[in-house]
Amino acid sequence: MAIKNYIGGELVEPVSRAYLDNVDPSTGQVYSQAPDSDHRDVEHAVAAAERAFPSWSRTPADERCRLMLRVADALERDLDRFALAECIDNGKPLKLAATLDIPRAVKNLRFFATAVTHFHSESHVTDGVALNYTLRQPRGVAGIISPWNLPLYLFTWKIAPALATGNTVVAKPSELTPMTAYMLSELCRTILPPGVLNVVHGLGAKTGAAITAHPRVPTISFTGGTVTGTEVARTTAPLFKKVGLEMGGKNPNVVFADADFDAAIDGTLRSSFANQGQVCLCGSRIFVERPILDRFLTAFVDRARKLKVGDPLESSTDQGALVSRSHVEKVGRYVELAGQEGGTIRCGGRRPDAVSPRCRDGFFFEPTVITDLPVDCRVNREEIFGPVVSVTPFESEDQVIDFANSTDYGLSASVWTQNLSRAHRVAERIQSGTIWINCWLVRDLRVPFGGMKNSGVGREGGLEALRFYTEPKNVCIHVAGS
């Protein structure tokens, strides 16, 4: 089956007629083809988005909202089909796609469709001399680049606020997971006006780069790795684009001795291994206060060993496949490096024997817990983005804050303690865009979301996203008689 680009309201082949193999990570087999698009396809998509912009940007917010809600409803009706497609395309457990990825995609569309009907701008009265009011106008064609780990979830998280605020979009999903964005474009075809949303599939370095470098795409929203983000920043800076960068993380999980022990184990297990550890917010560095270290390790390793690595289609599976052969090999290399850096593998550390006959060539990796690593070693500083975590003891609040802040990243952190004052103190001092206290991945779509340091520039979510996709323009009216 061949995926098509979605340009100007039509599903079209790439200009080159060339396609990329799309692999099912759970079997290692090619199961579909995606367009290997280039700058010519991007040019067509930008032209279509430009043609659609005057009308879409003048469409009343209520009407844009109504159309986007129809897309959300259609997606929700088709939830099972989308969840299955996401599972096959990405390797994640079907139950995760059905309970997290696709429902959240529906929610993203609904949230931003309705948010824009509540969006307001400011006015300032200047000492009886003037009245200033701020227009918030859509910026034109938004270029959107999204990653493979939460394919439709993050794709919709980015296109929804762009469309709701009246921009038109040229979007590129990851070439590794193009399927659900394609299926969404099939749904949109019957609902959105032509050219409002355009989806161009292809390689990052070719298709993605053609979008970020395009002179008539003034807004770029990127989610992906920090190395790619650096390239996006380098390309867009001299073109003076407005750019949002959501990038990698190496997030700390801090467990104090006074934490609710069972809740800390449950939460830390989930934040370590959810989606095979392939969530930018996963907590891959676990710091445990010395008095409870042995108890924590025993319980945590025991629970990690019990996670069932298996066929993502099976409902009993906790851990599906990693996204690609090269990624599972990269994760394996980090575990080898951990050995060289003095680490002790407490569980996992290898690719399992065939999890089932169907999945014998799949890209699976066992949940892995490593101890005895120096805090500043590479395994503790670099993003592995797989089911691999380290556990390190700490002696004091000051020390663990230093540990937590000791990487170049600053995306999120979880802190487990029952001492409210300490929770506030630690939250204030950890350099991350999101701090969870006694929880992980509790998401309210209204809150600012993004990273500090090498994890990101700018914020998404709620008003931040609506502001990102609009240009504030101040209008100053002289007040008569003054």
Residue of 91, 140, 151, 224 that binds ligand NAP (CB under 6 A): 224
Q: Is 149 in the site for ligand NAP (CB under 6 A)?
A: yes
Could you give the string, one character per residue 392-411, with x where binding to ligand NAP holds by CB under 6 A and - elsewhere?
-------------------x
Planar angle of CA 71, 73, 78, nearest 5 degrees: 95
Residue of 204, 267, 349, 387 that binds ligand NAP (CB under 6 A): 204
Q: Which two tokens stand for residue 287?
A: 């710091």
Residue of 71, 102, 142, 247 that binds ligand NAP (CB under 6 A): 247
Q: How far is the CB of 191 from ligand NAP (least distance, A)?
A: 24
Q: Is 208 in the site for ligand NAP (CB under 6 A)?
A: yes
Cα(310)–Cα(341) distance, integer angstroms: 30
Residue 215 burial (CB < 10 Å; 0-12/13-18/19+)? exposed
User: Which among 280, 282, 341, 366 is annotated as catalytic?
Assistant: 280
Label the pairing between strands 29-35 and 19-24.
Answer: antiparallel
- Amino acid (one-letter) located at 11: L
Q: Note if 314 is an active site residue.
A: no
Which CB atom, from 195 or from 248, has the smaller least distance to ligand NAP? Answer: 248
Residue nearest to ligand NAP (CB): 204
β-pair partners for 24: 29
User: By C-alpha distance, which of 285, 252, 264 is closest to 431?
Assistant: 252
Count residues binding ligand NAP (CB under 6 A).
32
Q: How far is the CB of 311 from ligand NAP (least distance, A)?
A: 24
Q: Is 387 in the site for ligand NAP (CB under 6 A)?
A: no
User: By C-alpha distance, which of 247, 173, 163, 244 is closest to 207?
Assistant: 173
Which CB atom, from 141 or from 288, has the smaller least distance to ligand NAP? Answer: 141
Q: Is 147 in the site for ligand NAP (CB under 6 A)?
A: yes
- Considering only the stretches 112-120, 142-150, 361-369, 422-430, report the one whose residues sit in contact with ligand NAP under the rule CB under 6 A: 142-150
User: By C-alpha distance, which of 466, 5, 472, 432 is closest to 211?
Assistant: 5
User: Which among 86, 175, 231, 246 is annotated as catalytic?
Assistant: 246
Q: Is 249 in the site for ligand NAP (CB under 6 A)?
A: yes
CB 413 within 8 A of CB 434: yes
- Amino acid (one-letter) located at 337: L
Q: Note if 246 is an active site residue.
A: yes
Q: Is 151 in the site for ligand NAP (CB under 6 A)?
A: no
Residue of 72, 145, 159, 188 that binds ligand NAP (CB under 6 A): 145
* Catalytic residue numbers, as ranges: 246, 280
Binding footprint of ligand NAP on the chain (CB under 6 A): 145-149, 154, 172, 174-176, 203-205, 208-209, 212, 223-225, 228, 231-232, 246-249, 280, 383, 385, 411, 451, 456
